[in-house]
A and B are shown apart, each in its own frame.
Chain A
Amino acid sequence: MSVEVQIQQGFRGFDLDVGFEAPKGLTVLFGSSGSGKTSVINAVAGLAKPAQSRIVVNGEVLSDSAAGRWLPTHQRGLGYVFQEGRLFPHMNVRKNLLYGNKLSKDRCEVASFDQVVDILGIGALLERRPSELSGGEKQRVAIGRALLARPKLILADEPLAALDEPRKAEILPYFERLRDEFSLPILYVTHSIAEVARLATTVVALKDGKVDRVGPAAEVLSDPSFTPMGPRAVGAVLEAKVVRHHEDGLTELSANGVALMLPQLSHSVGDQVRVRVAAHDVILSREAPKGLSALNIVEGKVHSVRSGCGPGAIVSVDTIAGRILARITRRSAAALELSGGVTCYAVMKSVSVAPQDIGAR
């Protein structure tokens, strides 16, 4: 279960040279616009042919320039969810869903029609036309259509970018289920750090047509030198489990034994969640803080202090809960004598964890 991609292309002064291998699960191609992520996914889909390419999905070679192999799009066994849905306007929802299904009878089913309709909650929409659907409904149908095509690989190109916040929150869980319930490799393109934090098993960060970082999501995101959206967007991701819901409206999580208090979550006790802690919401202290309003304090050891030419510094702290990043001033870092190995306390403002940054696993 893996995806292997090697692509080289020089195009109008923009050089694309991308190579990565992703294990099973959901691989996010992450980068700003112009970083080459759409070129990569379109090469995998066979929609655009790069000068040099080698693309292997679960051992099946989709393209290999050295061997002169380039499988046409329709023979690649894909399920592609586009940004704009791209439902066929002249077919109702049912026919849209079954379009790829009828063309892939020789492969095994990923999920049955009834299962897909049930998971996506689109039973009431089957006889409707795409023009009668809301943006979120269209995307749900598009996901269903991709799944029913019995894909060997799911591709998604910014599938949430055209939706407003409530619709995004509506669609995100379906991608989580896709990742967790089907053993299909998924290649997911986005420029949203929140989507990366919530969905990614593996992150492939692209920058100017090159691979900037590859690795497990938590590792890449908590790397203090990884500042793709500027230092303000830096943050760490912690894996945690819901322990219980308190009467005062707080939910208690346990991140590897460390208790974290968050405003009421809708998850049930025992659910695994990912919590993103933005670096600018973390305060550091050399001594165990007392008399502080913040609820979430964890002890750890400084791993590294990074600073550039600005007044800020990013301190990464290894704790039992995982690596936490803190964005403080260089002056504070000097005053606290922070350096590798020093013990300190990371104070996280519990209110700082935005709802869209938390995701069920």
Chain B
Amino acid sequence: MTEWLGPQEWAAVGLSLKVAFWAMICAVGPGVFVAYALARWEFHGKQFINILVHLPLVLPPVATGYLLLVTFGTQGVIGGALKEIGVVFAFRWTGAALAAAVMAFPLLVRSIRLSIEAIDPKLEQAAATLGASRLRVFATVTLPLMLPGLLAGMMLAFAKAMGEFGATITFVSNIPGQTRTLPSAIYSFLQVPGGEIAAMRLVVISIIVAAGALILSEVLARRIAAKVGQT
């Protein structure tokens, strides 16, 4: 295997897995919160939040990447402040993870929101009458019942993060070993003569990882659905 892929290619695969994993992990908390707020609460500016969340899905990824660069770059409003406390996104793998998280966020929120909306609020009321505080209702009733949708959303977000290209390359460029993820590596190979074979190998790997994530999410979702008694 090591002969089949060069060290640079392995680096790209490893980096992509790392970026996608952290993007998924960091997005899931805010994703659940936003999805819950959109599904269960009525508040001013709900529609605005909804549009904001979905923007990365419909905006050209390059535009999203540029906006990230403007806000989270070292000269950016937030990036500048974060730099003071030692957190740098620009041209680092952490930036790639941020870009992937932002791009995957709408898919994650949609999936979780649908699964929350499928839960009968009357069950949550029943839990409250039995003495459960709001937090406990969420932890013991809402969360277990939304688990299939949550896992499916996480896997979808992971697959999306693996494939994120436009926003990533705009925000953190294409630095080998630092920000050259799988899609960036494929793109780079296609730019040099004789790189098609290497590019094809990486494409095959992309397909395997993406399909694996989808299959895993299906299996998990089904297993959990059977466990929580919902079909």
Task: Using CB atoms, name the residue of chain A closest to B128.
Answer: A73
Chain A residues within an 8 Å CB radius of B122: 82, 84, 86
| B150 CB, min distance to chain A CBs, angstroms | 13
| B201 CB, min distance to chain A CBs, angstroms | 44
Contact-size category for A: 20 to 34
Chain A residues numbered 21-65 whose CB sits less than 8 Å from any CB in chain B: 45-47
Chain A residues numbered 124-156 whose CB sits less than 8 Å from any CB in chain B: 129-131, 145-146, 149, 155
A99 CB–B CB distance under 8 Å: yes
A89 CB–B CB distance under 8 Å: yes
8 Å CB contact of B229 from A75, A84, A131? A131
Chain A residues within an 8 Å CB radius of B71: none
Chain B residues within an 8 Å CB radius of A47: 125, 128-129
Task: Using CB atoms, name the residue of chain A closest to B227.
Answer: A90
Chain B residues numbered 25-65 whose CB sits less than 8 Å from any CB in chain A: none
Asked whether A130 and B129 contact (CB < 8 A) given A82-B122, A84-B122, A90-B144, the answer is no
Interface centre among B130, B133, B136, B137 (most CB of A within 10 A): B130
Contact B123 A86 (CB under 8 A): yes
Contact A74 B229 (CB under 8 A): no
A103 CB–B CB distance under 8 Å: yes
B145 CB–A CB distance under 8 Å: yes
| A78 CB, min distance to chain B CBs, angstroms | 5
Chain A residues within an 8 Å CB radius of B137: 74
Chain A residues within an 8 Å CB radius of B125: 47, 73, 86
> What is the CA–CA distance of A75 and B140 in the complex, to the nearest angstrom?
17
Task: Using CB atoms, name the residue of chain B closest to A78.
Answer: B129
Contact A86 B132 (CB under 8 A): no
Chain B residues within an 8 Å CB radius of A76: 129
> What is the CA–CA distance of A100 and B133 in the complex, to the nearest angstrom?
11
Contact B131 A88 (CB under 8 A): no
B 142-172 binary contact with A (CB < 8 Å = 1; else 0):
0011000000000000000000000000000
Chain B residues within an 8 Å CB radius of A103: 130-132, 136
Contact B131 A104 (CB under 8 A): yes
8 Å CB contact of B127 from A79, A84, A99? A99
| B125 CB, min distance to chain A CBs, angstroms | 6
> What is the CA–CA distance of A313 and B228 in the complex, to the nearest angstrom?
58
Contact A89 B145 (CB under 8 A): yes
A77 CB–B CB distance under 8 Å: yes
Chain B residues within an 8 Å CB radius of A84: 122
Chain A residues within an 8 Å CB radius of B127: 88, 99
B126 CB–A CB distance under 8 Å: yes
> What is the CA–CA distance of A82 and B132 in the complex, to the nearest angstrom?
17
B230 CB–A CB distance under 8 Å: yes
A 212-239 binary contact with B (CB < 8 Å = 1; else 0):
0000000000000000000000000000
Contact B133 A90 (CB under 8 A): no
8 Å CB contact of B123 from A74, A88, A145, A155? A88
> What is the CA–CA distance of A130 and B141 in the complex, to the nearest angstrom?
14
Chain A residues within an 8 Å CB radius of B128: 46-47, 72-74
Chain A residues within an 8 Å CB radius of B227: 90
A345 CB–B CB distance under 8 Å: no
> What is the CA–CA distance of A131 and B127 in the complex, to the nearest angstrom?
18
Chain A residues within an 8 Å CB radius of B126: 80, 82, 86, 88
> What is the CA–CA distance of A89 and B230 in the complex, to the nearest angstrom?
7
> What is the CA–CA distance of A45 and B130 in the complex, to the nearest angstrom?
10
> What is the CA–CA distance of A1 and B141 in the complex, to the nearest angstrom?
33
A 109-128 binary contact with B (CB < 8 Å = 1; else 0):
00000000000000000000
Task: Using CB atoms, name the residue of chain B closest to A145.
Answer: B130
> What is the CA–CA distance of A234 and B129 in the complex, to the nearest angstrom?
36
Chain A residues within an 8 Å CB radius of B123: 86, 88-89
Contact B131 A90 (CB under 8 A): no
Chain A residues within an 8 Å CB radius of B120: 86
Contact A73 B230 (CB under 8 A): no
> What is the CA–CA distance of A72 and B131 in the complex, to the nearest angstrom?
10
B 214-231 binary contact with A (CB < 8 Å = 1; else 0):
000000000000011110
Task: Using CB atoms, name the residue of chain A closest to B225.
Answer: A90
8 Å CB contact of B141 from A80, A88, A100? A88
Contact A130 B229 (CB under 8 A): yes
Contact B130 A99 (CB under 8 A): yes
> What is the CA–CA distance of A82 and B141 in the complex, to the nearest angstrom?
17
8 Å CB contact of A45 from B129, B131, B141, B144? B129
Which residues of A pack against B, CB within 8 Å? 45-47, 72-80, 82, 84, 86, 88-90, 99-100, 103-104, 129-131, 145-146, 149, 155
Q: A78-B131, A84-B122, A131-B229 are in contact. List 16 more A-B contacts (CB 8 A).
A: A47-B125, A47-B129, A72-B128, A72-B133, A74-B134, A78-B129, A86-B123, A90-B145, A90-B227, A90-B228, A90-B229, A90-B230, A99-B140, A100-B130, A103-B132, A149-B131
The list of the 4 closest CB pairs from A to B, nearest first, reads A100-B130, A90-B228, A103-B131, A80-B129
* 28 A–B contacts, CB within 8 A, in A order: A72-B128, A73-B125, A73-B128, A74-B128, A74-B129, A74-B130, A74-B131, A74-B133, A74-B134, A74-B136, A76-B129, A77-B131, A78-B129, A80-B126, A80-B129, A82-B122, A82-B126, A86-B126, A88-B127, A88-B141, A89-B123, A89-B145, A89-B228, A89-B229, A99-B132, A104-B131, A129-B229, A131-B229
Which residues of B pack against A, CB within 8 Å? 120, 122-123, 125-134, 136-137, 140-141, 144-145, 227-230
